[in-house]
Amino acid sequence: MGRRRLVMVGCALVIMSGLMSFPRLLLGSDQSHVKQLIQANCAGCHRLEGKPDSRFNLKAPDLIWAGSKYQRSWLLRYLTGKEAPLYPKGYRWDLAEGPIRHPVVSEDDATAMAEYFAQHNKDPRVTVGAFDLSKVSKFDAAFGGMAYKAHACLGCHLIEENGQLIGGPQSASLAAAGQRYDKDWLFRFGLNPQDFTPHSGEFLADATEPQLRAVIGFLMGQGVKDFKYYEPWTAPEFGTASVDRGKVIYKEYCSQCHGAHGKGDGPAASGLTPKPAIHANIPFDKVPTEYLYNVINHGGAAMGKSPNMPYWGLTIGQQGVADVMAYLRATFKGGADVAPAAGGGDGPSGVCPQPRKTAKAPSDFLSKTSPLPHSDATIQAGKTLFLQTAQPLACAMCHGEKGNGQGFMGAALVPPPRNFTCGSMMKELPDGQLFWIIKNGSPGTGMMSFAGLPDEQVWQLIAYVRSLAK
């Protein structure tokens, strides 16, 4: 009996201790206090229950699902006035009245309100774990950024790009979305924004699920310093890659364009522009792993290259991508015995002048001139980008370390890369034309888009390649 009494006393102490440390809102009468607090500070503008309504009938965003929508840390900062307004022009940008200053509460009241939302304003439609933030790669985020712009999100929402805010201020700023939203709620919202707020997010609803996942990955990186990107080539599949399995996949899929022996002479090659890469000419052991993975898994269009290259990841899976990469590296070494260029081209690499059929840039690009000083520092910065740091691929990989178009990957391209050492050709190219090509790629060639490079870096590259002309 004494032992039982001791156990009961011990349990009572544990319970009392828990109650004392638990937020006071959960203790009976404090529930009503918090409800009054929320009514006083929130209900005048926000709806706390009911069904979704058009944003044009609302004064402020619904808080019906606030417990699922926001990260607790952000919500506490916002309620205590430590976060900037979300709507630069006010929630109802279509009205003349200016933005209303958001109420500020104490730390204790903010904690109580956040806890109340977490308990009472949860969204049953949100599946916890539906979006795996740990599997967002750097490419996924970049692709998501392109999809974000393609679906017109930039027209209403601000984001941060290259250290600057861009986009429209008519709706919630997404510049710090990764600090604010719950990833699973954001993903569920993206699947059908009309479920939440009619006339909000209309243009995201037609995105495919892979596009949507990329967009969410992009947004969850907004405002998050040192975001830890996933590197899929470190996954277990790549530790068990098989050259033999890769050979079978290559024969079934890749040889249709690239040829049975990687000479760019597959049965589909004759009808394609640009021509398939000549794998036999590439020392694949020198190709950066990240680039090789991305171009196979995500396809040419996603990398700013030819749309003729499919995104094989959906067809052959991660293990298949790993196996093909292993086969390419074990089989094709490049070197002296390179294959002849399939289908001819616009002149061999290194010649001068080098005939090209590149499309003329739009007039607003052609008129551009470099805002940077013509200095050794500018040229040196461009040299570093050209040889080492440009993303998604250093320029020298194709154009060669001397800029003569004879890089080891350039040997695979039809037509061959530009020879920047050719003075007679370079003097005919306006700075604006070069800027446009670097930013947008060159359809019909192997030149990919470097749209992710800041404008300053593009001008540095132009300064450097100009310095190579003889």
For 162-186, what is each residue's pLDDT tens digit?
Answer: 888 999 988 899 999 999 999 999 9
What's the confidence (pLDDT) of residue 321?
97
CB 46 within 8 A of CB 62: yes
What's the confidence (pLDDT) of residue 416?
87
**75: its two tokens:** 């919500």
Burial letters 106-122, b for 16+ CB under 10 A, else e = eeebbbbbbbbbeeebb
Q: pLDDT (tens digit, 9 = 90+) per residue, 428-437?
A: 899 999 999 9
The count of other CB atoms within 10 Å of the CB of residue 304 is: 20
Q: Is the pLDDT of residue 468 over 50?
A: yes
Q: pLDDT (tens digit, 9 = 90+) per residue, 334-365?
A: 865 555 544 444 445 567 877 766 788 898 88
Class of domain 363-468: mainly alpha
What's the confidence (pLDDT) of residue 339?
53
What's the confidence (pLDDT) of residue 433?
94
Pick among 3.50.50.60, 1.20.140.10, 1.10.760.10, 2.30.40.10: CATH of 240-331: 1.10.760.10
Q: Is the pLDDT of residue 201 over 80?
A: no
Q: Region 69-94: what's the mean pLDDT?
A: 91
Q: What span, in angstroms and rounded, lies between the C-alpha atoms of 63 and 59?
A: 12
What's the confidence (pLDDT) of residue 295?
93
Q: pLDDT (tens digit, 9 = 90+) per residue, 122-136?
A: 999 999 999 999 999
Q: What span, in angstroms and rounded, lies between the C-alpha atoms of 26 and 193?
A: 33
Pick among 3.30.590.20, 1.10.40.30, 2.60.200.20, 1.10.760.10: CATH of 133-230: 1.10.760.10
Q: pLDDT (tens digit, 9 = 90+) per residue, 202-216?
A: 666 677 888 899 999
Q: Is the pLDDT of residue 310 over 80?
A: yes
Q: pLDDT (tens digit, 9 = 90+) per residue, 218-243?
A: 999 999 999 999 999 999 999 999 99
What's the confidence (pLDDT) of residue 98?
63
Q: Is the pLDDT of residue 100 over 80?
A: no
Q: Is the pLDDT of residue 10 over 70?
A: no
CB 418 within 8 A of CB 399: yes
More confident residue, 418 or 324: 324
How far apart, in Å, are the Cα atoms of 267 and each of 260, 280, 350, 445? 10, 17, 29, 20
What's the confidence (pLDDT) of residue 150?
85
What's the confidence (pLDDT) of residue 12?
43
Q: pLDDT (tens digit, 9 = 90+) per residue, 33-80?
A: 899 999 999 998 999 998 888 888 888 999 999 999 999 999 999 999
**322: its two tokens:** 């790993």
Q: Region 365-390: what's the mean pLDDT?
A: 95
The count of other CB atoms within 10 Å of the CB of residue 219 is: 27
CB 141 within 8 A of CB 115: no
Same fold, 23-120 and 133-230: yes
Q: Per-residue confidence at 320, pLDDT binned at 50, 70, 90?
A: very high
Q: Region 402-424: what's the mean pLDDT?
A: 90
**304: its two tokens:** 């700013």
Q: What span, in angstroms and rounded, lies between the C-alpha atoms of 112 and 317?
A: 47
Domain ranges of the chain: 23-120, 133-230, 240-331, 363-468
Phi, psi for residue 25 in degrees, rounded to 5: -65, -25
Class of domain 23-120: mainly alpha
Q: Is the pLDDT of residue 5 over 60?
A: no
Q: Region 84-102: what's the mean pLDDT?
A: 80
Q: Is the pLDDT of residue 9 over 50?
A: no
Q: Is the pLDDT of residue 97 over 80?
A: no
Q: pLDDT (tens digit, 9 = 90+) per residue, 16-46?
A: 444 344 444 444 447 788 999 999 999 989 9
